[in-house]
Amino acid sequence: MSTPSGTEPTVVVHPDADVLAAAAAARLLSSLADAQARKGHASVVLTGGGTGIAVLEHVRRSPARDAVDWSRLDVYWGDERFVPAADDDRNEKQARAALLDHVPIDESRVHPMAASDGAFGDDPDAAASAYADVLAASARSASTATGAVRVPSFDVLLLGLGGEGHTASIFPASPAARENTATVVAVRDCPKPPPTRLSLTLPAIRAAEEVWLLTAGEAKADAVALALAGADEVSLPVAGAKGKRRTVWLIDRAAAAKVQPTR
């Protein structure tokens, strides 16, 4: 199943979650290698969650892994659990175990969000502001910022989604879903643990060249269908996650069960 290219999202449906993760890994390696061939470097924004981490594990095991020059890849995160650095809930910790610790990456090009026991202590607002500064500095050095959104023009930004429609750590009807100025925010009182997080905002997400939404399972089918039908982004934040050049939904059959076919 797919929709037309251009401003409309591309929807790719895979048989199951494992095939989805393997196919997304192959697509990611190809996209990053192509970006490096065009301009000498590439950037990716990682996501956590079962599917996002499974993609990284497939990248690690792929015979095509060395198609990417890992020393010329900038790595960012779309959101992070504001917990201590050693906490297993950290997206950064999971990504390192799945992939980053196994490739010759340049650590100066890895840009994690702060932990709750890091330089800013237990102050998520300070940590969010600091990450916004990191993104703005990267955008200036690459001359890729657009308008008031001071973030790099990420080559590929990976996102998951929750059954209620959240993406990154932007939950329905939350202040983060209404944010249109800041690029990174602290998120408190999340409806699922841990309650405090850091997240890119929708304007920052929409600065990416390509946004890929990865999800699997019947529990996500309603949110997928509503987003693709054009739901409002405050009530269903994932509906506002779109790339400048391309938006790709990589889902399995169960998650696609309620999507209306295109004509």
* DSSP conformation letters of 17-28: HHHHHHHHHHHH
Which among 45, 161, 203, 179 has a CA at the least distance from the CA of 125? 179
pTM of the model: 0.94
How confident is the model at residue 140, as a pLDDT? 86
Residue-wise pLDDT tens digits, 25-71? 999 999 999 999 999 999 999 999 999 999 999 999 999 999 999 99
Give the pLDDT mean for 238-261.
Answer: 96
Residues 6+ apart with CB under 8 A from 63: none
Which region, left, alpha or beta, applies to residue 147 given φ > 0 means left and ψ of -120 to 50 means alpha? left
Residue-wise pLDDT tens digits, 114-130? 999 999 999 999 999 99
